[in-house]
Chain A
Amino acid sequence: MPLFGRSQKSPQELVKQLRDAVSALSKGDKGDKKVEKASEDVSKCLASIKALMNQSAEQDSQSEFLAQLGHEMYSANLLLILIQNLAKIDFEGRKDVVHIFNNLLRQQIGTRTPTVEHICQHQEILIELMKGYENKEIALRCGMMLRECCRYEALSKIMLYAENFFDFFNYVEVSTFDIASDAFSTFKDLLTKHKMLSAEFLENNYDKVFDAYLTLLNSENYVTRRQALKLLGELLLDRHNFTVMTKYISNPDNLKLMMNMLREKSRNIQFEAFHVFKVFVANPNKPRPIMEILLRNKEKLVDFLTKFHTDRSEDEQFNDEKAYLIKQIKELKPPEDS
């Protein structure tokens, strides 16, 4: 290749060089001359690895290059080291780390995904990545790598069952909007990408998850509240989460919360609340406390729903559902044995 004609370094050399530079970078303090040099070296190494990666992709020899590179990276445990030092690497260098990490992750040899296997054996990588949301500088970069990891069920499982999964309930609410948004999309991926996995997780950790979820629904942050409510609706309406849904709609506190959210000031929140509320009403086997609340508010609910978002005339599904709910509530009768 004319572009990189000078000297073609082997993956071994590059990885060794990168490892040495990162270790020099991690030792020094900011402002130190040596650290500046190390930082430059790290970025240079990353850039040449990335360039070789792209070059091999163009020459259809990517799998070979990735296999060699991966092998070297795993044995030096460089993925972990890179992520631990991500904040010390410069802006473009961080981007290159993401690029290299995600490409390695997607690497397949036959049916094997060696990087996924490597991370399964070194779960600290995922823990470090999740903690990345606590550092403004690297949060979005870690997010990009985490979402790539979310595509693999084995990695999703480790993250869901990790102790610091529950830190996501704080991350999605941080004041910096882009970080909160990014954390929310990772959070959502974890709870929706692998249906069976997340259904099982939600069932086994129902109390802990939904207690924490309540803080999101009551958040002072409008976007958190709105997104959490929307995701709740999606989770409950997914048939994989039938058990979780049944449990959720049996709790009268949840019904009260949704009825209160129906009359929130924000129209968007009212609308999302409607999609959770409808599940309570549509339940053919309403537990007694739920039935009682609905009966007590029968007239008000019918009146309220009749006037609810009447301007959405073109949304057919919504209007059908609304009509169905009104009919259901009108026909509610106290249980025989009361």
Chain B
Amino acid sequence: MSFLNCGSTSSKVSELTHSSRRKGYKLQEKKRSRPHSRHVHDSKSISTVSTMIEFENDYQKYELLTVIGRGYNDAATVYLARHIPTGQQIAIRQTYLESSKIDLSVLQNEIVLCRQLHHESLLPLYTSFVHNNDIWTVMPLMAYGSCRDLIHAYFMSGLPEQAIAYILRDVLLALDYLHNRGIIHRAVKASHILIEASGQVCLAGMRNAYQMSRNGVKQKMAFDYPHTSKLLQWLSPEILEQNLAGYNTKSDIYSVGITACELANGYAPFSDMPATQMLLEKLNGIKPVLADSSTIAALSAEQNITDSGVPSDSGIDTVEANNSEKTGALGYAYNRTFLNTFHQFVDISLEKNPESRPNTASALNHPFFKHLRRKTTEALPALLHPVTPLSDVHVSKMPKEDPTVDDLGRDFEDLDMAVDWDF
């Protein structure tokens, strides 16, 4: 397999600086006329915006237009916003620091870490400041939303294969940058992959990232575990095991494999089972697969086995209903066939033994990523057709947020603490 040959060059590649590596890594430009007329966006690229505009630490310089997302246990609200002095559309994440569900120091680590990273495929952070009891974080607007949003919006049965190739390639480039700096991302999943109007792919979710060098000592293995149960499906078996062997950057590759299935199938593997069963399957080396004509027969057979395991007293009717529902949900799989290279990529990424998984450099050389254009922005928007990025047109249709409503609610909670001391 050509992959093995690539493996031997991988250590060299990772030593080179980022820019020279990008030149060295061969991507064959393939000129093809696209049937769709591509949307023309006047928005400038992220890097130009960040160097051109000074984003102030003053909430009055920003107009919040509408809520476009929530995060961090609902303590964070993401707004589509306008930078008033320049008219630039941006995203602002407000995190309510009084929430008992968040950890201030985790947030601080995330923001300080993000400010020290510069890579076109990592979500940049323009500035952040405190206003009242919130932290405002100013970021570029990712007008296509996350890949999870794309699945919800249109691609219920999965994104187009070519789009996935571009998205995963860019995610791997971001991971390569992180891994070379001793950082494990630990939260690669569709909802953390954001896409800008231009088609630029950005990896976000740095809150869970772990730095391998602590107090100046570079560790070979990590023994720190993410403090959230929301990532379990994407985490590698060795992270879930939490044993003395620890884990390293290869665990991110496993998450990329899971994410690949999520993007292709429209749902993340293991979604339909309790966490304990998922753990068992991962530890037994059971690999999720892409659902298509070549795997659907096996998938359905497996489904039947699971269903026959249901106690008989649960009623035959429900079993049948379940069955038809699942076949219905997977029905689209009969009509599609993914490239062999895609299957191979998923297979090798999901190896139970971390040593058998490729590192980022050799993963980027996998045949699945050959024949891609160098610039994702040139291809991705057309591949995501008919989904269009969020724009002013959408915004005017949406109800405006009234931030005072939220504040009122917060005030009420505090009323009972009013006492007057005698000094």
Contacts and interface: CB of A to CB of B under 8 A. Distances in A.
A140 B112 contact: yes
A91 B115 CA distance: 11
B76 to A, nearest CB: 14
A47 B216 CA distance: 18
Given A266-B98, A300-B419, A223 B17 contact: no
B316 interface: no
A181 B423 contact: no
B128 A178 contact: yes
A305 to B, nearest CB: 11
A177 B135 CA distance: 8
Nearest to B137: A177
Interface string A278-319: 000000000000000100110010011001000000000000
> How many interface residues does chain B have, given as a range?
20 to 34
Interface in B214-272: 215-216
Given A176-B128, A181-B111, A293 B17 contact: no
Interface stretch (B168-176, B326-334, B387-395, B410-418): B410-418
A256 B127 contact: no
Contact of B129 (A92, A177, A260, A270): A177
B355 interface: no
A176 to B, nearest CB: 6
Contacts of A300: 419, 421-422
A102 interface: yes
A223 B130 contact: yes
B116 interface: yes
A221 interface: yes
Contacts of A224: 130
A151 interface: yes
Nearest to B109: A181
B104 A259 contact: no
A-side interface mostly? helix
A34 interface: no
Interface string A238-281: 00000000000000000010011001111110100000000000
Contact of A256 (B104, B115, B133, B423): B423
Contacts of A47: 17
Contacts of B414: 265-267
Contact of B115 (A3, A106, A178, A260): A178
B104 A223 contact: yes
Contact of A223 (B57, B112, B135, B421): B135
B12 interface: yes
Contacts of B58: 175
Contacts of B104: 223, 226-227
B406 interface: no
Contacts of A267: 98, 100, 414
B421 A256 contact: yes
B417 A263 contact: yes
Contacts of B100: 267
A106 B216 CA distance: 8
A263 B419 contact: yes
A222 B130 contact: yes
B423 A293 contact: yes
Contact of B422 (A151, A221, A265, A297): A297
Nearest to B112: A178
B337 to A, nearest CB: 42
A296 B422 CA distance: 6
A177 B97 CA distance: 13
Contacts of A304: 419
Interface in A100-148: 102-103, 106, 140, 148
Closest 3 CB pairs between A and B?
A175-B57, A177-B128, A181-B108
19 contacts: A3-B12, A3-B15, A102-B216, A175-B129, A176-B128, A177-B57, A177-B108, A177-B135, A178-B128, A182-B112, A222-B133, A260-B421, A267-B98, A267-B100, A267-B414, A293-B423, A296-B423, A300-B419, A300-B421
Given A177-B130, A178-B108, 6 more contacts: A177-B111, A177-B135, A224-B130, A264-B417, A268-B98, A270-B417
